[in-house]
Amino acid sequence: MTESHPDPNDVRETPPGIPRWVKISGLVVAALIAIFIAAMLLAGGQHGPGRHMSLGPVTGRSAAELPTAASPSTVSLGRLG
C-alpha cells in the first residue's frame, strides 16, 4: 500500500465562518425573546383570556330568562320580553 502524504504546497482554504453581524443579531433576538418570556411569566395579573370574559350575566337574568331570536313574543310584539 502506498501512503499518501499531504503536499505542503497544497493550500486549502477553510470555509468562512458565520459573519459577526449574524452572530450579534442572533444574540439580540434571543435576548429579546428571553426578556419577553420572563416578563410574561413574572408579570402575572389578569392578562389572559379570562380578562375578557364575565363571571356571570351582566343583566342579572339567567340564560333561561333571556329572549331568543325565534321567540314568537319578541317577533310579533317587537319587544325583548
pLDDT tens for 13-66 read: 888 899 999 999 999 999 999 999 998 888 766 666 666 776 665 555 566 666
CA angle 72, 63, 68 (to 5 degrees): 20
What average pLDDT score do residues 70-76 get? Answer: 54
pTM of the model: 0.42
Residues near 79 by beta carbon (within 8 Å), at least 6 away in sequence: 73
- Cα torsion at 34, 36, 37, 40 (round to 10°)? 160
pLDDT digits (tens, 9 = 90+) for 2-15: 667 766 677 778 88
What number of other Cβ atoms are within 10 A of residue 26's Cβ? Answer: 11
Q: Is 25 helix (H, G, I), strand (E, B) or coil?
A: helix
Query: What pLDDT was estimated at residue 56?
Result: 62
